[in-house]
Every structure is written in structure tokens, then in C-alpha cells.
Amino acid sequence: MPLRQFRLIALGPMLAGPLLAGCVAAGLPPAPVAPTPPAATIAPPATIAPAVSPASEAARQYFAAVQARLLSQGLLRSDDGRTDAPFTDRMLAENFTRVALYDEYALGPTGPVQRETPSRLRRWEAPVRIGLRFGPSVPPDRRATHTARVASFAARLQMLTGHPISLSDTNPNFIIEVVNEDERRALGPSIAAAIPGLSPADMRGITDLPRSTYCLVYSFAEAGRSTYSRAYAVIRAEHPDLLLLSCFHEEIAQGLGLANDSPRARPSIFNDDEEFALLTPQDELMLRMLYDPALRPGMTEAEARPIINSLATRLVNGDS
């Protein structure tokens, strides 16, 4: 089964999220204080890993086999593709148009439907503050690794786009949840707080994620606007290392405004053939084009096409 990633770029009004308040137990007598043993005999507190459910263990084994199979087929490449996948300025322009100005999914009466549809150019105007959240199943060493990688990737994206993008715990507007099967099914309250107004069908699309969906991102704009104000991504904690890193790269980049996939885009992560796992040189150029001041949010393909062609020619054939 090929890797499928579900991304819905939904346009609609955003409402203020609820305020989270702390809860303090009152009216209980203080617990008795035991004598403190000598310092030399005090042991560090034990770290107890949460129990792994059969569903989560089955998912871990399944996705380990998926990664192994993809690698055995020469997929999930981590090189840049320069040696065997050269591209021209015309190819870059066509790929950017298809990835940035079309949607992969359309909203249907019962939820998202996979159907490519023309769209308008969309991107962020506000600084992007990525909030990285982990379920209890993610051990401290993996949390540290993932945090360092996302921070480094955010810095790389900021350099490419010229747009403020950072990992931040202060009022994040791009939430990434790294959770296992059980934790994801319990995300309802977190989702409701992060993206109020999400339909029940879309909520189930996250909590009841099928195995064919490895990771996802929802990006939102205010009603009638083409600038994003919030994004919410979910990545499976059961993924092995490369598959999980691939999800970080693709979902963050797509959440910035490159919403579609194209079978012609190569080398690129915006292609469902899973040949490349990580952001490629062509992907970098597409991000630079997306945030170039010459392009404006809300542009149609007809309005943007001359500028896209000019930018692609300059980036590929001129000074980049």
C-alpha cells in the first residue's frame, strides 16, 4: 500500500479558544511528612513508562515494516536528487503552480473528499510559532531529538522564506501533536481548543485516523481571507525514525502553503510516490517562491502565472 497523507486546507471563521485554568484541591488535611533519610541514601525518582496498548504495539510493528519495505524499494531517499532528477525553470514553474495553487482535497457533505481543485495562493502573514506537543508514550530521549530537529528545520524554513518561523511555547499557532494510537483517540478536547468550530466529521478524521494516513495537517484562514492564522498537525509516535522525520518535513512545509501533491514534481516531497523523504532543493525553491513579495495571497493561477514563470527562471538560471 502506498503512503497516503491526508491534508485539508480549510477556509472558515476562527473562534477564540477556551481559557485553560488550573484546578487546585481544597479542604484536605496535609499529608504526614516522613523523616528525610540521609542524602547519600536518597534515590532519584523512577521514570515509569506508560503501558503500551496492543493497538499501539501493532501500529509500531506495522509502520516499521512499511519503512523497511519502502527503503528496500529505493524510496524514502534522504539525498537531494540532484544526480538523477534535474529540473528546469519550466518544470519548477509548473510544479509550483500545481502544488501551491491547487488543493488535494475538497470539502464534501460528509467530510473531505480527495479531488484536486483550483485554489488561490495562500500563506502566512503572522509569524509562525510552532508548538511541539508529545504524548506520554514518547520517551524523553526521543522528545529531545524531535525537538532539536524541528527547531533546526524551522530555522531552515525561516532562512528560505524570509518569514518568521520558530519553535515556541509562547502562544503557538502551529500545533504539532506527536501521539500514539490511544493518545490520538483522546485528542478531542485538545483539537477543540486548538481549532474551534471543526466539524464532527473532520474531528473523527483525526481521532479515528486510518493506517493509510501516516500524518496530517489542517491549516486555517479567517473567513474570506487567503492568509493562514492557525495550523494543527498530528504525527504518529509509533513511526520509526525516518518516517517520522519525513512527516515533520512534509506537514510543516505543507502547512506553510504548499498544500497539494503532484505526480510530476521530482525531486520533491510533494509527490505521493514517496521517493524522497526530506525537503529537496526544488522544494526549497518552491518555498522561496511562495513567500516572494512579488506574489500576493489570494492570487489566482492566471494572476500569478507570469510572476511564477519569472521567479522560476531567475531562481534556476540566474542568481539564486
Q: Write the CB contacts of 197 (distance below 8 Å, at least 6 apart in sequence).
A: 12, 13, 14, 15
For 261-298, the pLDDT digits (tens) are: 999 999 999 998 999 999 999 999 999 999 999 999 99
pLDDT at 112: 62
pLDDT at 290: 98
Domain boundaries, the chain: 71-317
71-317 is classed CATH 3.40.390.10:
yes
Q: Are strands 213-221 and 4-11 parallel, antiparallel or unpaired?
A: parallel
pTM of the shown model: 0.83
Show the cell assigned to 292.
516572494
For 120-143, the pLDDT digits (tens) are: 999 999 999 999 999 999 999 999
Cis check: omega of the bond before 139, within 30 degrees of 0? no
Q: Between these two residues, 73 and 31, which has the higher pLDDT value?
A: 73
For 150-201, the pLDDT digits (tens) are: 999 999 999 999 999 999 999 999 999 999 999 999 999 999 988 888 888 8
pLDDT at 148: 98
Give the burial string for 33-47 (b: 16+ CB within 10 Å, else e): eeeeeeeeeeeeeee
By C-alpha distance, which of 125, 127, 99 is closest to 286? 99
pLDDT at 46: 43
For 250-271, the pLDDT digits (tens) are: 999 999 999 999 999 999 999 9
Query: What is the average pLDDT value for the chain, to the nearest integer?
Result: 84
Q: Is the dihedral of CA 152, 158, 159, 160 positive or negative?
A: positive
pLDDT at 205: 87
Residue 44 pLDDT greater than 80, yes or no? no
